[in-house]
Chains A and B, each alone.
Chain A
Amino acid sequence: MKAFLRKITGNHEVTLGIILVVLFIVVDILSGFKFHGLENIGDIFKNNALTLIMSLGMLCVLITGGIDISITGTLAFAGMTIGLLQKYNIIHNTLLLFVIAVAIGGACGLINGLIIAKGKVSPIICTLGAMYIYRGLAYVISNNQWASGEDVTSFSKFGNSAGPYIILALAFVIYFVVMKWTPFGRKVYAIGSNREAARISGINVDRVEIAVYTLMGVLAGLAGALSVSIYGSAQPNMQTGKEMDVIAACVIGGVAMSGGRGTVVGTLLGGIFYAVVYKALPLVGLEAIWQNLIKGVIILGVVIINVLTQRAMNRQALARREI
């Protein structure tokens, strides 16, 4: 029993998993058992596919000790571009549109990566500036127009198919494998744990860093395409402020903002946690104006619980060493 208790308090992912299950059951009861349906669970993943996908990129960025707050700007720029390409009947090929969005996202990310790695600009400043720029570009190209409804008919069919789920699953599987079993994954962790040591041991820190930010951009571009596809519309202000959701999802999932620590599974759980909260708040019959307040309290609460489990973990490790 004691060993079991130690195990659950000692492992971040397990703790979060338990919190998640409890939360799920509570919400299910509060909502009159309407929460556990397959359709609802599908909606949870689909409506938060953007946050979930971008949280993977953010995971890598945070592990290297960086941060990227320009992602929703990138998302809007890429999404708006492909929205307009459809609105003005230039391209209607779904695959091609996805490629374009991903390419735009990749380019935005590459620029961030170059400025951060080669220009030695701190990540938050670079991406703060980039956030203004990419979001601004989305507005400028949109010229106060939306792309929606009929413009994106064929494209939004993809969003209504199994497509988003497949992309989501693929992304997580790929990241899980890459972060756990490839040299690239190990390099990312190495840089986050100790940058100087990583450099001395022969890792090309700049190159890895550029790759990490480029991948972040690629995922943000992908999320932009998914957003247009799932919601059937592109607006220049789409997902404003959601970068904080992505970062919060990672941190809830146990990723350390100081770098070096974090897992794909944890990120997935953190993302799902966030998604469940989002989905649950309107369902459990809370008055609309209370929803933000509750959301804030939950985020803060979970983050504090994280710290407490981490402390417990450290204490146990220490105790074991003493024995």
Chain B
Amino acid sequence: MKRIISLILVAVMAVALLASCGETTTTTGAKYALVTKAAGNAYNEKEAEGFKAAMEAAGLTSSDYIIRHPEQATVEAQIAVINSLISQGVKSIAIAANDPNALSSVLADAKAKGIKILTLDSDVAPADRLTFCNQAGVQQVAQALIDAVLDLTGGEGDYAILSATSQATNQNAWIDAMKAIAAADSAKYGKLNLVEVAYGDDEPQKSTDQTQALLQKYPDLKVICAPTTVGVAAAAKVLQDKKSTVKLTGLGLPSEMAEYIGNDADHSCPYMFLWNPIDLGKLAAYASIALVDGKITGAVGDKFEAGNMENSPYTLTAVEGTNASEIILGAPFKFDPSNIGEWKSVY
């Protein structure tokens, strides 16, 4: 038995050693934190890269900021991470929320400790945060997507949407806005017919199944619009492999989609959109610094410098219909055969 216990202690020590030589950052005095949606996701990693780059450009070192990827894309994993950050006494937390409501309790705790909360990519209720770094206005994204559909269908015909999960806040907002735009201007969009919104749950296999089902169900389908990075890549592969005449557009990472972008019959996606996730991370970093330094309070009309970013200085604007503030990164960027080669190595 003694041998067993000594073995266990050795194991524990080995674990401790493993933990300490793992990917850990020293924590004392860290001020700024970024919490992404989940680990193992290239898009989130690009946000983290941008956050890091901006922090370093602002003269801060790796001990001044913490980047945390929760272990799963769930709100509970994020709550655990935020609690841990509160314990570490950070000054600001920038978070890409996995749920618009469920973080309310833990963010209130953080606020009570004087931590500045801001969101990026996916927002929470305005009362729970100071401001929101919006990758692109909902209207702008929706307008770009519906216009792309209009263009690729040639002005009329069937199109389908392949989304992430049926609960994804961003995707739902974009899809709703697309429908609203189409309904508002029936002269222009009246001949477009949205046959179905399918959900691929951001899994390659399920997205593949759903894309194939769309092709089978709607023989007259002209365009699939996939406003999600995993879905768009899966759909692109299906269409390209099947040499389908159906065209694809949506939101995708250039590095994932380079293979499929082209204007000829051999490529399934003539063009698509995205913002720069690296810039979004940078924006969140500069906004964090400005909030902690007291240069902005999160009120509409505040202005702050964002290093060498393109549109610096940024102004906080009002979220449509409310007095809550947001910072819009810019219009969504269009990727087509002429520029994909240049961007695919960037993000």
Q: Which residues of A contact B (CB under 8 A)?
A: 31-32, 34-35, 37, 40, 43, 47, 50, 138-139, 142-146, 148-150, 153, 156, 160, 231-233, 235-239, 278-279, 282-283, 285, 288-289
Contacts and interface: CB of A to CB of B under 8 A. Distances in A.
A138 B39 CA distance: 11
A150 B344 contact: yes
The 9 closest A-B pairs by CB, nearest first: A144-B45, A149-B259, A236-B40, A282-B213, A231-B204, A146-B42, A288-B199, A150-B259, A232-B237
Contacts of A238: 204
A148 B209 contact: no
Interface stretch (B5-13, B131-139, B250-258, B301-309): B250-258
A238 B204 CA distance: 8
A67 B204 CA distance: 26
A239 B205 contact: yes
A149 B41 contact: no
25 contacts: A31-B216, A32-B217, A40-B212, A43-B212, A47-B208, A139-B39, A144-B40, A144-B41, A146-B41, A146-B42, A146-B256, A148-B256, A150-B258, A156-B237, A160-B241, A231-B205, A231-B208, A231-B234, A232-B233, A232-B237, A232-B259, A233-B204, A233-B256, A235-B41, A283-B216
B217 to A, nearest CB: 6
A79 to B, nearest CB: 11
Nearest to B259: A149
B69 interface: yes
B52 to A, nearest CB: 12
B77 interface: no
A31, A142, A149, A289: most-surrounded residue (chain B CB, <10 A): A149
Contacts of B197: 288
B44 A279 contact: no
A33 B69 CA distance: 46
Interface in B258-303: 258-260
A144 B44 contact: yes
Contacts of A237: 38, 40-41
Contacts of A32: 217
B209 A278 contact: yes
A282 B42 contact: no
B75 interface: no
B209 A144 contact: no
A148 B257 CA distance: 8
Contacts of B210: 282
Contacts of B41: 144, 146, 235, 237
A149 B233 contact: yes
Contacts of B230: 235
A288 B236 CA distance: 21
Interface in B5-51: 38-42, 44-45, 48
Contacts of B257: 149
Contacts of A138: 40
B97 to A, nearest CB: 19
Contacts of B344: 150
Given A279-B213, A282-B213, 14 more contacts: A31-B216, A40-B216, A139-B39, A139-B40, A142-B40, A144-B39, A144-B40, A144-B48, A144-B69, A149-B255, A150-B259, A232-B259, A279-B209, A282-B209
B42 A145 contact: yes
Contacts of B258: 149-150
Contacts of A37: 216
A40 B199 CA distance: 19
Contacts of A156: 237
A312 B197 CA distance: 45
Contacts of B205: 47, 50, 231, 239
A145 B41 CA distance: 6
A148 B296 CA distance: 40
Interface in B211-235: 212-213, 216-217, 230, 233-234
A33 to B, nearest CB: 10
B69, B204, B230, B344: most-surrounded residue (chain A CB, <10 A): B204
B166 interface: yes
Contacts of A143: 45
Contacts of A232: 233, 237, 259
Nearest to B167: A289
Nearest to A159: B241
Nearest to B197: A288
A72 to B, nearest CB: 12
